[in-house]
Amino acid sequence: MSLPRLLIEPIIRNALTEDLGLAGDITSQAVIPVEHQSTVAMISRESGVLAGIDVAALSFELVDNSIIFEKHKQDGDILFPGTVIATVKGPSRSLLTGERTALNFISHLSGIASVTHQIVTSIKETKAQVVCTRKTTPGLRVMEKYAVKCGGGRNHRFALYDGILIKDNHIAIAGSVSKALMDAKSYAGHMVKIEIEVDTLEQLQEALSVGVDVVLLDNMSPDTLRKAVSMVNGQAITEASGRITPQTAPAIAASGVDMISVGWITHSASILDIGLDFI
């Protein structure tokens, strides 16, 4: 599992451009002799799951392609305090110039992978799977959704173009659950899945009477979710959502739902503390 360079290089270039501007790293230029060489170790300072190793490597390469980036761990690997993730060798100025961009990416993505892994682990005795949403950092969606997969989760629809998800505002404008679903069915091609968000069992029954591929059961208690799963009875994929944490996930998963969607794992996950130590 890896990220295509074609997708991630423009994102990394933008980050480096933002950091370097026109003048470049004036601190390193002022303090570090141009001929000085160094070796550094990228080290995890806490436990978690690695994501973004190739992003970090490319961050250094785009600064200076003479830098040698040696991986010791792969995305998806479990990390502990003191785990050496990679060894990086090259001109000291270049290493310091690329350091922050590389660490920003790998720490952020590993944080996402780590919290995803926590939720996945908390529901491992059930059939439910953890999926992310479109609540991503603008411009970083491809990386953040990849990090979810590194943590053992799965991706929901990637964007507005690859699946129909009818939410409460769509229903309000359309006039009813039935009307929204019938309009969607007449619009969509045979390859496009249709999902609808329901807040009550009454709305769920209305959706099932029309027919739908996936039902999003929003902010329902575990007891209500169990009733909803029983009503669906295999007619559609069931997905639960609404402020789900590693602590609340087990009870929600035990209701029998197929999917648990969690928005905060991409937009609010804490970083995993990863540092760069000069050897």
| Bridge partners, 244 (sequence order) | none
Pinpoint the residues of the chain covered by CATH 3.20.20.70. Answer: 121-267
* Catalytic residue status for 179: no
d(CA 278, CA 41): 6
Residue 189, pLDDT score: 87
Pinpoint the residues of the chain covered by CATH 3.90.1170.20. Answer: 5-115+270-278
Q: Which of 13, 71, 100, 227 is catalytic?
A: 100
Q: Which of 73, 135, 154, 185 is catalytic?
A: 135
Tokens 């009550």 label which residue?
A: 200
* Catalytic residue status for 135: yes
* Catalytic residue status for 167: yes
Whether residue 1 is predicted with pLDDT greater than 90 in this model: the reply is no
Give the HSE-up count for residue 186: Cα atoms under 13 Å, Cβ half-sphere.
6
Q: Which of 218, 226, 227, 273 is catalytic?
A: 218
Nearest to 31 by CA among 97, 88, 101: 97
User: 3-state DSSP call for residue 47?
Assistant: coil
Tell me what the mean pLDDT of segment 197-209 comes to.
Answer: 98
CATH number for domain 5-115+270-278, candidates 2.40.128.520, 3.90.1170.20, 3.90.1570.10, 1.10.287.110: 3.90.1170.20
> CB-based contacts of 186: which residues, under 8 Å, 6+ apart?
none
* Catalytic residue status for 218: yes
Tokens 């039935």 label which residue?
A: 178
Asked if 142 and 270 touch (Cβ cutoff 8 Å), the reply is no
Q: Which of 127, 167, 168, 223 is catalytic?
A: 167
Q: Where are the alpha helices (DSSP H) in 175-221?
A: 177-187, 201-210
Residue 176, pLDDT score: 97
pLDDT band at 56 (very low <50, low <70, confident <90, very high): very high
Q: Which of 54, 99, 195, 197 is catalytic?
A: 197
* Catalytic residue status for 141: no
CATH number for domain 121-267, candidates 3.30.70.1050, 3.30.1700.10, 3.20.20.70, 3.40.50.10860: 3.20.20.70
The structure's pTM equals 0.96
Type and span of the H or E element at 197: strand 194-198
